[in-house]
C-alpha cells in the first residue's frame, strides 16, 4: 500500500494536477464518497477519487470517533468537504457532518413518501417524547400522541403530565414524520397521524348528526374523552363548552371515567371526532322568560367570582352574572359576597339568545353591606385610643 507521501506524488495525481479539466471541482459542503486508507495518531486519511487525499483531524476526528470504530481499511464512507484544499494539499473532510446530512436526506425522503416508521422512546419532557431516528433526535409532541397515550387525566398539571410521559420511555411507537427542518435541527413525528389513517376508514360509517353511545375514557380540564361503544378504536372529544348549557368549571362536575353516555356527533375532520352532550339536552334558555322576568327580585347562590363579576346560580340550569361595577372593585365584590352563600338579586335584563341574565344588587344586600360598614366604623371608633394630648403650653387640653 502506498504511503500518504507516495500518493501525493503519484504520477496519476500529477497528471490530474497538470490537467485541471480532468479533476472534479470540489466545493465546500459537497457530499462525496471516500475510501478509508490510513489511520494515523492525530489524523485519519481517505482516498478522494480523482482528486487526491482527504484528511480528518482535530475536532472533526473527535466527532467522527463512533463512525471510525465501524470502519476498516478499504471501506467506503460518505464525507462532507470542509475545505477543498488546505495548505498541505489535503482535502479537509468531516464524517460526522456527512452522516448527519445523509440522515436528514433520508428523513426528508421518508416524509415525502408518507412512510410509517417505528421508533423507541429515549426520553420525555412535559412537552412530549424524544426518540432517535438515523442518529437524529426526533420530537413527538404530546399533542401528536394518539388518544390512547395522551395524558388525559393529568388535568394540566405539568408534573403529572411528565410522570405519565416518562412511563413510555423504552416503548416502541409507530409514527409518521410531519416536520423536517435541517437548518433549525427540527424533526417532528406524530403517532396521531398513524392512528388517524385507520380511524378515517372506520369513521366513514358515521355522519355528523349521528347519536352514538360511548364510555367516558378520560376527563381533562378542557373536556371529556369518549370511546365509542361499537368501535372502541374511535375516541372522540366533548369540549367543555359542549357538556352543558349551564356554566361549569370542570367536566368532573358532570361526568366521571367509566360513565356510559349518549352524545351527538358534531364534527369529523382529519380523523378527529367532536361530540356534544348538550346538543341532546333541552335548552333551558328557550323558556327562561317563563321562569324569570326583568325587574323581579330573585334569590341565587354565588357559584364563582371572577375579575369581571360574580356568577350566580338561579336554579339547576340557569346562571346569571352580577357585574363587578355593582361593587366598584373586585376587592369589594369579594368582601360582600361569599361563594356558596344565597343572596337576593334584581334581574336587570334577560337575553335568551346570548344565554345571559344580568343581575343587579338587591337593596337588601346594599343595606346589609352598608350596615356592616357602619357597624365596623362604630366598633373602631368606640375602641380607638383617646387622641387628646394633656398639658399644653398653659396646662390646657389640646
The residue that leads in pLDDT, 174 or 23, is: 174
All domains in the chain, ordered by first residue: 4-98 (2.40.50.140), 114-196 (2.40.50.140), 205-280 (2.40.50.140), 289-377 (2.40.50.140)
Q: What is the pLDDT of residue 391?
A: 42
The residue that leads in pLDDT, 269 or 17, is: 269
Q: What is the pLDDT of residue 346?
A: 94
Lowest pLDDT segment from 14-28, 151-165, 179-193:
14-28
From 334, 333, 362, select the one nearest 347 (Cα to Cα).
362
Question: Cell numbers of 4, please?
Answer: 500518504
CB atoms within 10 A of CB 3: 11
> Is residue 44 scored above 90 in pLDDT?
yes
Q: What is the pLDDT of residue 340?
A: 92
pLDDT tens across 221-267, in order?
899 999 999 998 899 999 999 999 888 888 998 999 999 999 999 99
Residues 257, 251: Cα–Cα separation, whole Å: 11
pLDDT tens across 127-181, in order?
999 999 988 999 999 989 987 788 876 666 788 889 999 999 999 999 999 999 9
Q: What is the pLDDT of residue 224?
A: 93
Residues 94, 60: Cα–Cα separation, whole Å: 6
Contact 338, 302 (CB under 8 A): yes
Mean pLDDT, range 86-93, rounded to an integer: 91
> Is residue 18 scored above 70 in pLDDT?
no
Q: What is the pLDDT of residue 397?
A: 42
In DSSP notation, 268-285 reads EETTEEEEESGGGS--GG
**DSSP SS3 for 17:** helix
pLDDT tens across 350-389, in order?
999 888 999 998 765 555 545 444 544 454 455 544 444 3
Mean pLDDT, range 85-107, rounded to an integer: 89
HSE-up of residue 20 (Cα within 13 Å, Cβ side): 2
Q: What is the chain's mean pLDDT, rounded?
A: 84
User: Strand ranges (DSSP E) for 240-308?
Assistant: 260-269, 272-276, 297-306
Per residue, what are the HEC states of 332-390? HHHHHCCCCCEEEEEEEEEEHHHCEEEEEECHHHHHHHHHHHHHHHHHHHHHCCCCCCC
From 13, 68, 6, 60, select the one nearest 36 (Cα to Cα).
68
Using a pLDDT cut of 90, give the percent of the chain over it.
Answer: 46
Mean pLDDT, range 106-119, rounded to an integer: 90
Amino acid at each position: 500500500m502506498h504511503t500518504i507521501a507516495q500518493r501525493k506524488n503519484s504520477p496519476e495525481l500529477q497528471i490530474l494536477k497538470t490537467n485541471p479539466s480532468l479533476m472534479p471541482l470540489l466545493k465546500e459542503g459537497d457530499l462525496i464518497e471516500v475510501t478509508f486508507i490510513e489511520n494515523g495518531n492525530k489524523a485519519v486519511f481517505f482516498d478522494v477519487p480523482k482528486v487526491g487525499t482527504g484528511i480528518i483531524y482535530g475536532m472533526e476526528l473527535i466527532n467522527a470517533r463512533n463512525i471510525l470504530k465501524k470502519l476498516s481499511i478499504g471501506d467506503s464512507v460518505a464525507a462532507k468537504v470542509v475545505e477543498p484544499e488546505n495548505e498541505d494539499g489535503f482535502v479537509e473532510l468531516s464524517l460526522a457532518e456527512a452522516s448527519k446530512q445523509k440522515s436528514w436526506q433520508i428523513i426528508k425522503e421518508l416524509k415525502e413518501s408518507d412512510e410509517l416508521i417505528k421508533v423507541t422512546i429515549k426520553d420525555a419532557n412535559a412537552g412530549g417524547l424524544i426518540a432517535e431516528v438515523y442518529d437524529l433526535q426526533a420530537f413527538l409532541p404530546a399533542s401528536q400522541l394518539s388518544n390512547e397515550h395522551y395524558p388525559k387525566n393529568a388535568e394540566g398539571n405539568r408534573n403529572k403530565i411528565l410522570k405519565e410521559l416518562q412511563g413510555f420511555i423504552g416503548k416502541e411507537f409507530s409514527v409518521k414524520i410531519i416536520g423536517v427542518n435541517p437548518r433549525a435541527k427540527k424533526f417532528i413525528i406524530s403517532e396521531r397521524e398513524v392512528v388517524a389513517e385507520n380511524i378515517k376508514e372506520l369513521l366513514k360509517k358515521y355522519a355528523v348528526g349521528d347519536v352514538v353511545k360511548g364510555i367516558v375514557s378520560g376527563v381533562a380540564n378542557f373536556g371529556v374523552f369518549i370511546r365509542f361503544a361499537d368501535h372502541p378504536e374511535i375516541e372522540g372529544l366533548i369540549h367543555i363548552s359542549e357538556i352543558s348549557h349551564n356554566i361549569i368549571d370542570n367536566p368532573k362536575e358532570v361526568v366521571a371515567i367509566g360513565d356510559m353516555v349518549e352524545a351527538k356527533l358534531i364534527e369529523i375532520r382529519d380523523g378527529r371526532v367532536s361530540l356534544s352532550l348538550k346538543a341532546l339536552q333541552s335548552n333551558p334558555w328557550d323558556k327562561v322568560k317563563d321562569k324569570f322576568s326583568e325587574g323581579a327580585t330573585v334569590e341565587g347562590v354565588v357559584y364563582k367570582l371572577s375579575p369581571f363579576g360574580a356568577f350566580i346560580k338561579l336554579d339547576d340550569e340557569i346562571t346569571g352574572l352580577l357585574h363587578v361595577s355593582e361593587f366598584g372593585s373586585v376587592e369589594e365584590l369579594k368582601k360582600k359576597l361569599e361563594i356558596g352563600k344565597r343572596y337576593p338579586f334584581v334581574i336587570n335584563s334577560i337575553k335568551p339568545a346570548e344565554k345571559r341574565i344580568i343581575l343587579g344588587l338587591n337593596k337588601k344586600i346594599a343595606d346589609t353591606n352598608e350596615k356592616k360598614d357602619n357597624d365596623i366604623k362604630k366598633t373602631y371608633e368606640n375602641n380607638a385610643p383617646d387622641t387628646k394630648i394633656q398639658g399644653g403650653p398653659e396646662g390646657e387640653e389640646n
